[in-house]
Each structure stands twice: as C-alpha cells, then as structure tokens.
Chain A
Amino acid sequence: MKADPSGVLTGTHNISGNYACAEGALAAGCRFLGVYPIAPALEVSERFLQRAKKVGATFIQMEDEISTLAAVIGASWTGKKSMTVTSGPGLSLMMEHIGLGIMLETPCVIVDVQRVGPGLGLPSQPSQGDMMQARWGSHGDYELIALAPSSSQEMFDFTIKAFNFSERFRIPVAVMSDEYVAHLQEEVVIPRAKDITLEPRRYFDGPIGSYLPFKRDEDLIPRMVDIGQGYKFHVTGLTHDDRGYPIMNEECQEYNVHPLVKKIRDYTDEIIEVQEVNIEDADIIIISYGVSSKAALKAMEQARGLGLKVGSLKLVTVWPFPEKRVAELAGKVNAFVVPEMNFGQVVLEVERCSYGKSNVFFIPHGGKGVEDTEDILKAINQAVQDDRIIDRIVELR
C-alpha cells in the first residue's frame, strides 16, 4: 500500500525534528492527533494542526495525557491511524492506557520527546531517561516496539516506520525522541507518495456475526474491523477469549497474554534494525541510540584517526533489544562503550547480552546538553588500556 499523496509534502525541507515527526505522521496516513500540551513536544501538534486542514485530519487537546491516549485508542478503532505526542511527565500518565492498548491490541503511535526527569525535571533539556519506562512502565507482562531517532530525517522516517509496525503487529509503538532531536533544524527529504510504503490494516472481511476480535491469524495477529460497521463486537481490557469476552481463569490468562508477548518475540528478526559501521575488524564497539549516536559516530571517526579499531552499532529499534546481535559480538570484541543520556538504562541490556564475554564501559550523562565526543573518546582509551575482563559495568565520570 502506498501513501495517500494528500498527506505527503514531497520535497527537501529544512525543518525541526518535531515538524518532521508531524510530516511523517501525515505521510503515514495519521488522521487523528490527541495531545495534552507539554514541552518540548509542542511543535509536533502545531505543525500537525497547520497541515491538518488540507488533509482532513482531526486534532483534539484533551484534559490530561490519560484521556489523550484513551481518545487515541478509541479513534484508532474507528479506522483512523492515530497518534499522540508527549514528554516524560505525560508518558507517566499514559502508562494506564499503554496497557489497555496492548490488551485491546490497538495500533497507535506514541511519540515521547524526552526531557530531563524525574518529576518535572528540566523541561527544556534533552534526556534519554524514559527508555526503561517505555519498556516496563505499564503493569503486567507485555512487549512493545520502541524506535530511537537521532535526526530530523529519522524523525520523519521512524514515525512512518512506527505506524507500519503498529498496524503490522496491532500494538502501540513508541518513538523515543528527545528535546535535542526535536528542536534540531536539519534537512529532511520527503519522497513522493508512491515511494512511501505503508502497512495496511489487516481487516476481517467475513460475514457479520462471525467476527471474533481476538482470533489470531497464523502469525498471531488478530484481524480488526471498524466501529459502526455492524459487526457488533465486544472487547474488554480484562483477560479475554477470542470473542473478547472476559474469562477469569489461569488457562485464559495464558491463552490471552502469552501471544501478546510471542507476537513480538517470534518476529524480532523482522522488527529489529541496527546500523553498523566498521564492525568487522573492531576491538571496541560503541553502542548508542538516538541523539547520542551522533557523538558516538564522531568519536568513532576520531578514534579510527588515532589508529584504534573502533566500530559503531546504532540501535534503530531499542525495544525489542537486539540481544542476539549483541551476544554474537560479545565474544569477538574486547569492550562495548555505551554513551547514554541517563544514569544507566539500556547499558543494563548491553551488559546482560554480553554474558560477561566483553567489558562494558558506561558514560552517564545527567542533563544539560548532549553527550560529549571527548567523554566517549576517554572511555575508548580506557577500554583499550584495561583489557582484562571486568565483571561489572565500568561507569566513567
């Protein structure tokens, strides 16, 4: 399925990450945006609303982020691709409905423009402090997909990718941006509509009366219908069977919830994407995501200039985590260097997946600004000197 040309602003633009995100959403066919205003995510809704009039999209500002995601999930069931955009404090409020979205298997996209936390933190500074919350924040067992853009172009591309994943797997997908990427003014190339491939919603087309909202196809994804087509369906956020009726026993819990996890875990090869540079001969690999990967790539080039064998592995999908790839590399390289704009989140996954076979050096970053290339270089130097196996993450200050 190709993009609807009415939403695609084909051409080369010099726009911010937030604007690129709105353009990506419109190109992906998003026609419903629910928001509660929060810095530094504001410009996404500003741009969306500017353009909404021409493409017939709808926008609502709700009373809080809880109702925002509720409205987005509702809108998605009418057949409209739906999105919300927020920042840390808003993401905290959305946790309830991330769980509902997972349980009702509703496609939708949540853009989190991360700012420094906890609490109200620093509203105008970038951070990568919501990574674990996005993965684990709602109660119960689930998997979700999270992408981490590092530029305006990636804000555009990954927002489309997020919509495609959400339709393919019937799941809320998070785009984990940050204040720096959001406000960075960069060149964005928006292709022609016919060059943008979109994942169509998988509809049930059987007779009225025979629709089961949670009957899974072979690949574990159930089919959808839109509200108001006369299918008379019943869905619930309680543990349910194929009919969407609540069934309160352990067998149904297994029957209902295990596939929610399996439908992602069995398809990690299709979902996970990493960008590797200079991996083949590397002794040290910098693992980074989002805006930190800009500094990581620069540090890698400088280290190569000094004759050090350094590679870069950039996570496009942070969740599910590329554990197979990291484990493969763990035996082959001496150390992973992980710069993150928090006090240690995704680095825990790197350590877990390296199974003690490679050292893990972590460069924390507490707030103001972004990761410094110098700090990454220092970590690389330490990793070169310290080649004995250390049984814990080495945190550099």
Chain B
Amino acid sequence: MNEIITTFAQALEKADVKPDQVCVPSDILFEPETVKRFGFDYFHTTRGRAIAFGTGLKLANPALKVVPFAGDLMTIGGNHFVHGSRRNMELTVICINNFVYRKIAGKSAPSAAQKFSPYSTFEEPFNIPHLGNSCSAIYTARWTALHTEELAASIAEALGKKGLSVIEILAPGPDYYTGISKVNVDLVRFYYDNSEIRNNEDPKNVGIKPDSRIIVGKFTSKERPTFIDQYNAQLSSVLGEKFIPHGIRSGADPGGKNGGD
C-alpha cells in the first residue's frame, strides 16, 4: 500500500501538482507517517464515503485537488460513485481493488472475479471502468500495483483532467493483524504476470474473469463540463450579472478562510 502512495506522490510530481493543494479523503487507512511524508492533507473517513466527503471539500474550496482513495467503492460507495460520475465532480478517484475485505477473512468484495475464492465468490462482479464510463466518468483506467510507471502516468494524466476520473488499481491490501506494511507480494506478482495491456479498449470488454488474462490500460478519456462549470453556467444564464461564479474568487483564496467569498 505504501508503494501505491509512493506512486501517487510520483504522479503529483509528474503532473506538477503541489502536495499542499492536494487533499485525500479515504476510507483506507495507510501508514500515517508515510502519508504525512508526502505532504498532503489526509482524511480517513467512513467506509465507502470518500467520494461524498470529497464532494464537500471540492465544492467548498474549488482550488483544492481532491483525490478520494476508495476501498469499499462498489458496495457502500456504489451510489456515491455513480452520482459523482454523473455530476462530473472534479475528483480523481483511485479505487484500490484487492477483491476482498482484507480484515475479515474469506469475505470477497463485489469487484472480485468469480471463483476468486473457493466458497464465497459466485456472484457476477462489477466491472469498475465500465461502470464509471457508463455513468459518464471522463477518464477510466486499470493497472496493477506493479505497473508503477504506467500507473503514475495515468494518475498524472487524470489529475490534469477536469471532471471525475477513476483509476482502478489491483493490489493486495495490508493485513492488519500481521503488520501494517506486510504485503502479499506473490499475489501482486500473479496479477502483474497475468495482465495484458490494452490501451483504449472499450471498457465493456475489460471485466475480470476467471481463467482469462486481466486487461489493464488506459481505457477512456473524454471531455465534459464539470459540476462547477455547469452550476456556474446555469445560474449565470438565469441570474445574469448578479451571480458571482463559484470557484473563481475562492480560487484566489485557497485557504477558503474568507467563507463569505
């Protein structure tokens, strides 16, 4: 997991985004000292609600780069993801998919491929990039945690885009009870070795299936007005000059301290 944070920090550098401007709401607990070293503000929020939390952050201070790290994205967070994508809130959603509830032995997630575990995985899984794309997310990609260069490039590209991007990362989570930084490297290696890069593949074809290769890559990238763009356009058209566009003046006030704008 720390490796993902490191890759994320590289992506920030690549995208020329200062960590000061970055806020990470996350339902995943990283090692706090590691997070702190990279210099962004970090909220460990309720399960699955990182996007909802991030929506408030971004709207109340549009100068921020908000990067929700999501674990329970397809379960508790499913509706937030669907609506965040639809609204095109400016969020770079990083979904860490490890197929399981790591702290609860044997419980597989709704993003797990069928037959992923011998007893509990028989339901059809979510195809996260496809779901995001269907709900009008502007950028979708999937990488394994070991595709560090490609992943950093994808995150950097997504950070430069205006709207909701989703990047799925296949990774084994840290096992809480055996030490926070202990990672099952063999499993990531297995995902990496069994992956196939297919950039620009139609996301509907990238579902993870048993006994077939895992398709990774940057799948879609498009442009669409963001929530704040549409909010300003709509209210300006109705109210004319009386309306102060949101995010323009507070952009000059990154602290957001002058709450009155």
Contacts and interface: CB of A to CB of B under 8 A. Distances in A.
Interface residues of A, number: 54
Contacts of B19: 232
Given A63-B83, A228-B63, A234 B42 contact: yes
A393 B252 CA distance: 60
A81 to B, nearest CB: 6
Interface stretch (B8-16, B152-160, B202-210, B241-249): B241-249
Nearest to B63: A228
A7 B260 contact: yes
A3 to B, nearest CB: 10
Contacts of B35: 234
A139 B36 CA distance: 29
Given A53-B242, A79-B256, A236-B44, A74 B54 contact: yes
Contacts of B43: 74, 77, 104, 235-236
Interface in B213-256: 235, 239, 242-244, 246, 249, 254-256
Given A6-B260, A63-B80, A228-B64, A70 B244 contact: no
Contact of B57 (A55, A56, A74, A243): A74
B39 interface: yes
A71 B64 contact: no
Contacts of A155: none
Given A6-B260, A53-B243, A227-B23, A32 B44 contact: no
A72 B242 contact: no
B244 A32 contact: no
A100 interface: yes
A67 B50 CA distance: 9
A246 B29 contact: yes
Contacts of A233: 41-42
Most buried by A among B19, B36, B42, B60: B60
B92 interface: no
Interface in B18-49: 19-21, 23, 25, 29, 32-33, 35-36, 39-46, 49
Interface string A67-102: 110111111111111100000000000001100100
Interface string A239-267: 00001111000000000000000000000
Nearest to B257: A79
B36 A70 contact: no
Given A67-B51, A232-B36, 11 more contacts: A6-B260, A53-B244, A56-B260, A56-B261, A70-B49, A73-B53, A77-B57, A79-B60, A80-B259, A228-B61, A231-B41
The 7 A-B residue pairs whose C-beta atoms are closest, nearest first, are A74-B56, A56-B261, A71-B56, A67-B52, A236-B44, A75-B60, A70-B52
14 contacts: A60-B56, A66-B52, A70-B46, A73-B53, A74-B25, A74-B56, A75-B59, A79-B256, A82-B60, A227-B57, A227-B64, A232-B19, A233-B41, A245-B33
Interface of B: 19-21, 23, 25, 29, 32-33, 35-36, 39-46, 49, 51-57, 59-61, 63-64, 79-80, 82-83, 235, 239, 242-244, 246, 249, 254-257, 259-261
Interface of A: 4, 6-7, 29, 31-32, 34, 53-58, 60, 62-64, 66-68, 70-82, 96-97, 100, 104, 226-238, 243-246
